[in-house]
């Protein structure tokens, strides 16, 4: 039995013990769900801006309830944050900030600010034209926060925000649609320098979110981007293996990100930042895909061009695999609903190898 398996056996025992030790003072649920990030968690904000990065057409949303519902999610079904919201008891999906119906008291259950092609650095994603970068997403949250304070009053709003769940899923595009996209950048800027720029900027962004009242914040690291169909097809010399450089960049960033999260927890009073290790989770899924019930771990289910289906986005002309639940990847960049479900469950209930220093259910009780 490996360390990863042992970790989950121990977690199950601790969870059973917690049922008997649960404090009467613990939260029954988060007050709201506020989501920031990129296309991995975008639920339709890019539908409302001028951008190439859109997914509001079939076969995207092929399995999203109700079926054949292309909302702008880059998946055949739900995103990780959709599933987390459902598992935590919300009866509706957290709506996109730019939707015309996301107004008034609707925002009190939470808002999704994520935007496909966005990144930590403002220049990231310019190849897709429009996108709402992290700084602009935080600007949008300022407006939501102003409404909440006007609606509740300052004191109640502070308590409400302190008990809300916040999450940030970002960083992949800074490599895929910035550093790796420009040969000039890679020649003149070392990986260490580029990653340090990302960490410095992200530090400012996370502190800004804290200063606006967020206390329970899940920060998702960069996954194994060298294993996605896009990078496999763009780097044919890698053969059947994952591409080394993108994964090395992700590992370098993730190491510094975990240190940042630990520093924020140490230096910001009452903060509870969680480091969600999606790199480890997805790497384990790819390496042991059959044990998770998958049949394909390296190719896009929705494919149009490329050996791995990674040379074109999921488009109406694409060919879709007959059983989406057997594929790890939906398109060149994004997981299927089936993969997102596994990731979500590990972030909700996993051990410290999945999410550190506690999981999301434990965060709710912390």
Q: Which residues are catalytic?
A: 39, 331, 334
Instruction: Find the DSSP H helices in 235-326.
Output: 244-267, 278-287
Q: Decide: 62 and 73 in contact? Cβ < 8 Å.
A: no
- Collapsing DSSP to helix, strand or coil, 190 comes out as coil
* Dist CA 310 CA 69 (whole Å): 23
Q: Using CB atoms within 10 A of its CB, is residue 163 exposed (0-12), middle (13-18) or buried (19+)?
A: middle
- Residues near 314 by Cβ (< 8 Å), separated by ≥ 6? 55, 59, 60, 74, 300, 302, 303, 304, 330, 331, 332
Output the CA–CA distances (angstroms, integers) from residue 80 to 231, 266, 285, 312, 346, in the order listed: 22, 28, 15, 23, 11
Q: What is the β-pairing status of strands 216-220 and 165-169?
A: parallel
d(CA 244, CA 49): 34
The helix (H) or strand (E) run that includes residue 36 is strand 33-37
- Judging by DSSP bridges, how do beta strands 272-276 and 355-356 pair with one another? antiparallel
- Show Cβ contacts of residue 100 under 8 Å, excluding neighbours closer than 6 positions: none
Percent helix, strand and coil across the chain, each rounded to 5?
Answer: 50, 10, 40
User: 77 CB contacts (<8 Å, ≥6 apart)?
Assistant: 61, 62, 63, 64, 65, 324, 336, 337, 340
What single-letter DSSP state applies at residue 178?
Answer: I
Would you say 131 and 54 are in contact if contact means Cβ atoms under 8 Å apart? no
């Amino acid at each position: 039995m490996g360390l990863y398996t042992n970790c989950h056996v121990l977690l199950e025992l601790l969870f059973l013990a917690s049922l008997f030790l649960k404090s009467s003072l613990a939260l029954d649920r988060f007050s709201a769900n506020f989501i920031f990030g990129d296309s991995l968690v975008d639920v339709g904000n890019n539908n409302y801006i001028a951008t190439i990065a859109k997914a509001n057409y079939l076969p995207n949303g092929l399995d999203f309830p109700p079926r054949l519902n292309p909302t702008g999610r880059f998946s055949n079904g739900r995103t990780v944050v959709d599933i987390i919201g459902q598992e935590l008891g919300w009866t509706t999906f957290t709506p996109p900030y730019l939707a015309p119906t996301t107004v008034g008291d609707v925002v009190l259950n939470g808002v999704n600010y994520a935007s496909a092609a966005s990144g930590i650095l403002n220049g990231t994603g310019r190849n897709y034209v429009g996108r709402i970068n992290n700084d602009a997403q935080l600007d949008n949250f300022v407006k939501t926060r102003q409404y909440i304070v006007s609606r509740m009053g300052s004191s109640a709003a502070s308590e409400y925000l302190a008990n809300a769940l916040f999450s940030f899923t970002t960083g992949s595009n800074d490599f895929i649609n910035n550093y790796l996209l420009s040969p000039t950048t890679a020649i003149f800027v070392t990986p260490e320098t580029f990653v340090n720029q990302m960490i410095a900027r992200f530090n400012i962004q996370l502190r800004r979110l804290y200063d606006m009242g967020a206390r329970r914040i899940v920060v998702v690291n960069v996954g194994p981007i060298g294993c996605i169909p896009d990078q496999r097809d763009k780097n044919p010399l890698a053969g059947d293996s994952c591409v080394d450089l993108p994964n090395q960049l992700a590992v370098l960033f993730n190491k510094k990100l975990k240190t940042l999260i630990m520093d924020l927890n140490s230096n910001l009073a009452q903060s509870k930042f969680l480091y969600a290790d999606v790199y480890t989770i997805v790497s384990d899924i790819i390496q042991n895909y059959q044990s998770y019930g998958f049949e394909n771990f390296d190719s896009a289910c929705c494919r149009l061009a490329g050996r791995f289906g990674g040379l074109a986005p999921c488009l109406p002309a694409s060919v879709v695999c007959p059983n989406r639940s057997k594929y790890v990847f939906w398109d060149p960049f994004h997981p299927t609903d089936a993969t997102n479900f596994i990731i979500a469950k590990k972030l909700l209930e996993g051990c410290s190898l999945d999410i550190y220093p506690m999981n999301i259910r434990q965060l709710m009780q912390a």
